[in-house]
A and B are shown apart, each in its own frame.
Chain A
Amino acid sequence: MARFLRPESFSAATEDLSLLPFNFERAGANQYLVANMVGDFVRLSEEELNRLVDLQVRPGDGLYEKAYAAHLITGTNQKAQRQLLAARLRSRMSFLQQTTPLHIFVVTLRCEHSCPYCQVSRQSTDRSRFDMSEQTAMRALDIAFASPTARIKIEFQGGEPLLNFPLIRKIVAAAKQRSGKKLDFVIASNLALLDDAVLDFCKENNVLLSTSLDGPADLHNKNRPRPGANSHELAIAGIRRAREILGPDKVGALMTTTEASLDRVDEIIDEYLEMGLDGIFLRPLSPFGFAIKTKQFAKYDAQKWLAFYERGLRRVLEINRQGTPFREFYAALLLTRMLSDRPIGYVDLRSPAGAGLGALVYNYDGSIFASDEGRMLAETGDDAFRLGHVEHDSYNSLILSDKLIGAISSSLTQCAPECSTCVYESHCGADPVYHYATQGDALGIKPLSAFCARQKGIMGLLLDILENSPEDAAIMRRWAAA
């Protein structure tokens, strides 16, 4: 019988080992959270981390196995792990192949609501001044169709876009007449003006509806005043009608959190459940309607938000444990990034940033912005993210403008201070417009950033549940799978 070699014969000598890139963060008295290049997490004690960095690891000591399987170390002459990491990174970043898939048309700035949290400074009168013209719309379509991606989504926003419904009809018809791209359409509407004509049009053209539902009637109507104080009633009726005519998957609702919402997350979630919706997107307070003057205010705000979010997420998980599938969409998005390498190009959570590369915004007056928040800034007099105008610019001149390249290149998480060494970097994103708005700088100082505090807080929470609550973890893994 042939001789077999013992395990020791296959151990690498320490001098043959190399470290692979990883980030880490202290996570407790004697504990570090460590993430490899593609964001797989492991926990190490301080002693383990020190030994690892010094390559004082040996096959069979447990740390070697942990570090090798997590791609923290490799054999100096080995190739497979580096190639694995390269392949996985390439998959994660492949959203970049779809350049500018989203095109937002602000068909009017007029609105019949008068929400105090409105971030776009809606107007109530003067049709001629605040409606997009057909000529502007067609020029915007030229630019949208010049983007290199094979599939584009055209989103109609306002104001209340249904106040300029004839233009929506014209844009959809004109877009469909052009060839060469697959098209998706969505109207972001408060649904107050939804009627059969709109629904027939949506059905005929496979147009999705996205609306606002802030929670129970009193909260929603307080957040979203309109003549008659019936915003909630109309939104509910609109969602029901749209689900009936278009199908349950053709209408989605988003909530905006105000201070009045903070103590009421269970009621807000129940409202979504009662409507038969399959999940909720717990959206943070946005800085654009608020004058966030001091960094301390932003920080305080993030902590309050996180408490609200955690209560909400745990309520959603409880609903799932009781047998009703229901998702929190922001968690689902982050979990997909944390548990898989599927490319997620979500505009607000990617680096390079989604500004321009992920979306372009055509304002009613023909000016073009790198993001929705960019035009919000402009409504209060700051043109930092105004890239150009439909009359003077082409897709290339917008995408290659110094303004856009400057904002994107200065905000890359891959090399930004604090971000590049952050244990959550693989799953986070650059938000130059937010940081410009709050700190006057596209890069921003991350320890002072509420965006950063929220991101780290939510991902820390998700990791905690994944590691310590098996039943909830199984639910969350399902969110990441599909």
Chain B
Amino acid sequence: MTLRLYGTASRSAGFSSDEARSVLRLRSVDSVAERHAADFALARTPDDIRRAVEADWSSILVVSDGAIDLPGTFAGRLVTVPPIYDYLAEGDVIGFDHASRKFRTLYRRNSAHNSLLVTERCNNYCLMCSQPPKDVDDRWILGEIKESLPLIDQATRALTFTGGETLSDWEDFIAVLTECRDRLPATAIQVLTNGRAFANSRIVDAWKDIGHPALMAAIPVYASVDHVHDHVVQAKGAFDETILGILKLKDRGQRVEIRVVMHALTAPIIEDTGRWIARNLPFVDHVALMGLENTGFAIANDAMLWMDPVDYGDGLARAVDHLSAAGVNVSVYNLPKCVLPKSVWPHALQSISDWKNGFVEECDRCDEKNTCSGFFTTGRPRFSRAVRAITSQRDKLTALAD
């Protein structure tokens, strides 16, 4: 299953031309909550529309492919989107571009995997980037995020900011994080960043001064050697800045997660990388060893990057051992259990965001499906030759063989 998180509205009306964009929050037609200027009644049927008008809604979003039958007296704002967006629900937030009628789903209240794109600009150019960077002026996105924050449910447990490099406009972004602290005090915030900005003491001090109670910087480290990391991220000097950034964050008591994406350049040395992190950075808060999402640049560089996970499973298991022995909290992301050595299973999490997570037919017979990461549905998924259902019977046979 892949949810379309962006698209084009089939119709819109009533939007002012003074502003290029609006942020919309969806409300049930019958909602009695106080109405915010950004609130739209969410209508799916002609009956919903009729009731919305009766309830004096001046803004309505319709999910439908049929003709919209609105009273001529309706002078409010209207957006109509096709039925493939019928996942939209009460409390969700979307960003809407008036002229092009393009929209993006920014926040789904019922999802545990909400991530907000901060910018598409990046000073790395990773060979396997799932979100290839663009050198464009997209600073309006931060404005949209600022507008969205008051609309997000305060009960949201976690939010992720992603990019591009989230700290590209660090002052504006830190202002957003400060607003998160104030508006969403119970929401854990994860920021995906290449960490290079934190080599600058001014930036890391500003980050610390936010004083957010649950803020984590998630930073990629691909090797224990400078040129290997620099090649993967296509930026000379990146390794030095990233490691320095991690040190400066931890020196100031900030939470840091290290992320290692495993592919043919990084997976064969994953044991070395794991041992190096265990020995040199055991004070980080979490290490995620991650299977590759085969999308974006990863498709273009497939010949250079593809490695069947079953071929690096043993090294991965040893990396997990080194990290665990050093007391580091380590997880394995994005890899189904059937391709992993059993010793790694306790660390393997269901890490793939709900909107791009799926299983194959083989999984229907598998005992472990309910606790398995499954697969990415994005891009051009590649499957390990080791994918097969795990059944108790097979486990018993394995145990006997052992």
Instruction: List residues of chain A with CB under 8 Å of any chain B CB.
Output: 1-2, 4-7, 9-12, 40, 59-60, 64-65, 68-69, 75, 78-81, 83-84, 87-88, 339-341, 477-478, 480-481
Contacts and interface: CB of A to CB of B under 8 A. Distances in A.
Contacts of A75: 226, 240
Contact of A84 (B243, B301, B325): B243
A80 B240 contact: yes
A72 to B, nearest CB: 12
A80 B326 CA distance: 21
B234 A4 contact: yes
Contacts of B230: 10
A12 B272 CA distance: 21
Given A12-B226, A69-B224, A83 B244 contact: yes
B99 interface: no
B125 A4 contact: yes
A7 B282 CA distance: 29
B302 to A, nearest CB: 12
Contacts of B276: 69
Given A10-B231, A69-B224, A87-B247, 11 more contacts: A1-B300, A6-B231, A7-B231, A9-B231, A9-B236, A78-B226, A80-B240, A80-B243, A83-B244, A340-B282, A480-B325
Given A69-B272, A84-B280, A340-B282, A79 B224 contact: no
B227 A10 contact: yes
Contacts of B342: none
Interface in B227-247: 227-228, 230-231, 234, 236-237, 239-244, 247
B127 A4 contact: yes
Contacts of B237: 78
B227 A11 contact: yes
B125 A7 contact: no
B326 A340 contact: yes
Given A87-B247, A477-B325, A80 B225 contact: no
B247 A84 contact: yes
B327 interface: yes
Contacts of A84: 243, 247, 280-281
Contacts of A480: 325
User: Chain A interface secondary structure, helix, strand, loop or mixed?
Assistant: helix
Interface size class of B (residues with CB under 8 A): 20 to 34
Contacts of B247: 80, 83-84, 87
A5 B234 contact: yes
8 contacts: A2-B132, A4-B125, A9-B231, A10-B226, A12-B227, A65-B224, A80-B239, A340-B282
A75 B279 CA distance: 20
A40 B279 contact: yes
Interface string B25-40: 0000000000000000
Contacts of B234: 4-5
Contacts of A1: 300
Scoring B237, B300, B325 by chain A CB atoms within 10 A of each residue's CB, the highest score goes to B325
Nearest to A67: B225
B251 interface: yes
A88 B280 contact: yes
Interface of B: 125, 127, 132, 199, 224-228, 230-231, 234, 236-237, 239-244, 247, 251, 272, 276, 279-282, 300-301, 325-327
Contacts of A80: 239-244, 247
A83 B281 CA distance: 12
A58 to B, nearest CB: 10
Given A4-B125, A4-B127, A340-B282, A59 B243 contact: no
B227 A59 contact: yes
Contacts of B242: 80
Contacts of B251: 87
Contacts of A477: 325
Contacts of A78: 226, 237, 240
B193 to A, nearest CB: 16
B128 to A, nearest CB: 11
Contacts of B244: 79-80, 83
B282 A10 contact: no
8 cross-chain pairs, A with B, having the tightest CB-CB distances, nearest first: A80-B243, A69-B224, A10-B230, A10-B227, A78-B240, A80-B244, A59-B227, A10-B231
B66 to A, nearest CB: 41
Contacts of A9: 231, 236
A59 B239 CA distance: 14
A481 B325 contact: yes
A45 B243 CA distance: 29
Nearest to A83: B247
Contact of A7 (B132, B227, B279, B325): B227
B243 A2 contact: no
Contacts of B224: 65, 68-69
A477 B325 CA distance: 7
B164 to A, nearest CB: 15
Contacts of A64: 225
Contacts of B240: 75, 78-80
B239 A478 contact: no
A10 B236 contact: yes
Nearest to B235: A10
Nearest to B239: A80
A83 B248 CA distance: 9
B231 A5 contact: yes
Nearest to A1: B300
B125 A2 contact: yes
Contacts of A60: 227
A79 B200 CA distance: 12
Nearest to B236: A10
Contacts of A83: 243-244, 247
A78 B225 CA distance: 12
A322 B226 CA distance: 43
B294 to A, nearest CB: 16
Contacts of A341: 282
Given A9-B236, A40-B279, A88-B280, A481 B225 contact: no
Contacts of A11: 227
A9 B236 CA distance: 8
B263 to A, nearest CB: 14
A78 B239 CA distance: 9
Contacts of A481: 325-327
